[in-house]
Every structure is written in structure tokens, then in C-alpha cells.
Amino acid sequence: ETGVTQTPRHLVMGMTNKKSLKCEQHLGHNAMYWYKQSAKKPLELMFVYNFKEQTENNSVPSRFSPECPNSSHLFLHLHTLQPEDSALYLCASSNREAGYTFGSGTRLTVV
Amino acid sequence: GENVEQHPSTLSVQEGDSAVIKCTYSDSASNYFPWYKQELGKGPQLIIDIRSNVGEKKDQRIAVTLNKTAKHFSLHITETQPEDSAVYFCAASGTNGGSQGNLIFGKGTKLSVKP
């Protein structure tokens, strides 16, 4: 375990479903991130939160909705997704003294 | 914004040989350059990093070099072992990747070490 826990590990959802991804860190980091990892593409930054405040939304479609209730928890709410949204969704956390620590990811399949 | 290019996309070496992966970046203000290793079914794990005030850093069989003038940095793995097989990512940011700078990643290099 890296200290960043993501659940669920795997998720299959229909295009009309609503689901949420969860990320939790107890490393004392103040920044949390959502990345999307698709085959043959670089890791794509989606959202950044610093001290619970969203500081970056990297032109992500509104069908992805992040939530950061506190500095240890981060959610990604999903609704009306498309098949091309199928990917590995990675959560990471960091602070100024340490680099990024990633979770193991949620493998999402949209059918 | 920052753009990171990584080469090669795939690399196959014999066990015991060395492997070198190269990255270039575009933003001269970037000063933190980590390398991540991603094994199947896992998230990327930090293996080594370097800051712009250092030209080289070594940790056992892994070393990273940085040329700020040319804006490129490289990962060197010596005496490769089958367990080194994974996808390696380079990244760059304006700080150590904390709240004032976001990591921009290269596309990754799939390293295969043949026994």
C-alpha cells in the first residue's frame, strides 16, 4: 500500500448509470489530484485540489464531477458517461516536501 | 504550458544490460523531474527524482541525469533484471510537484528485460 487508497478497484457501468470513485490518503498531504490514464496516451490531469479548494479543472466534461470534503478524501462522481471514458482513473496526493504518491487506480469500463 | 516528450516508447534489453530512457521538456522554469515506475495493475510509483540544482543523482542501479541548458533528462538503469520490466514515466513541474506546480508526464516507456 502506498498510503493512497482508491475504491473500487474495478467498475463496470452503463451509460445511464451514476457512480462515484473514492480516494483516501492519510499521508498529511495538502494537495490531491485526479488523473485519467488511457492506452497510448500520457497521464491526463483532470482536477487539482489544494487544501480542499479546487485549483484546476483541465477542461474536463461536466459528466465528471469532483468533490473534496476534506484534505484526506477526494471523490469523482460519474454520470451519463461515454464508452470513450473507459480508462484507469488514478488519484494522487502531494505536498511541497514530497512528490506525488499515487493510488492503484480504478479500472472503469463504460458499456 | 509545459510539454514533456519521452523516448523510446518501447525498449527491450537482455538481463544484465543497461537501459536508458530520455525525456525533453519545454518550460525552462521547470525545476523538479521525477521518474515513476508502473507495474501491471498498480499505480505509478516514484523511483527517483532530481531537482534543477543537481546534474546527476544515483540510487543503487538507477541514476538520473539532467541537462538544464538542453532541457533534457534521462533515466539510466544498470544491470537490468526481469523485475525491472514495467512502464516508466518521466515528468516535470515548476516545483516539487506540490501545491504550486502540477506534474506533466511523458507518454511512458515500456521496458522489457529478457532473461
Q: What is the pLDDT of residues A74-89, one digit of tens each?
A: 999 999 999 999 999 9
Minimum-distance CB partner of A94 among B98, B105, B107: B98
3 state DSSP class of B87: strand
Q: Do residue B46 and residue A100 have CB atoms under 8 angstroms apart?
A: yes
pLDDT, tens digit, 9 for 90 and up, residues B52-105: 888 999 999 999 999 999 999 999 999 999 999 999 999 998 755 544 568 889
Cα atoms in the Cβ-side hemisphere of radius 13 Å centred on B102: 21
Which residues on A lie below 8 Å from B104 (Cβ)?
Answer: 42, 45
Number of A–B residue contacts, CB under 8 Å = 69
Average of per-residue pLDDT across B26-54:
91
- CA-nearest of A102, A84, A70 to A2 is A102
What pairing do the DSSP bridges indicate for beta strands A106-110 and A10-13? parallel
**B50 bridge partner residues:** B33
Closest-CA residue of B relative to A93 is: B98
Cα atoms in the Cβ-side hemisphere of radius 13 Å centred on B1: 8
pLDDT given for residue B1 in this prediction: 76
Q: Do residue B98 and residue A40 have CB atoms under 8 angstroms apart?
A: no
**A109 vs A96: CA distance, rounded Å:** 34
- Which residue type, as a one-letter code, is found at position A12? V
- Which residue type, as a one-letter code, is found at position B16? G
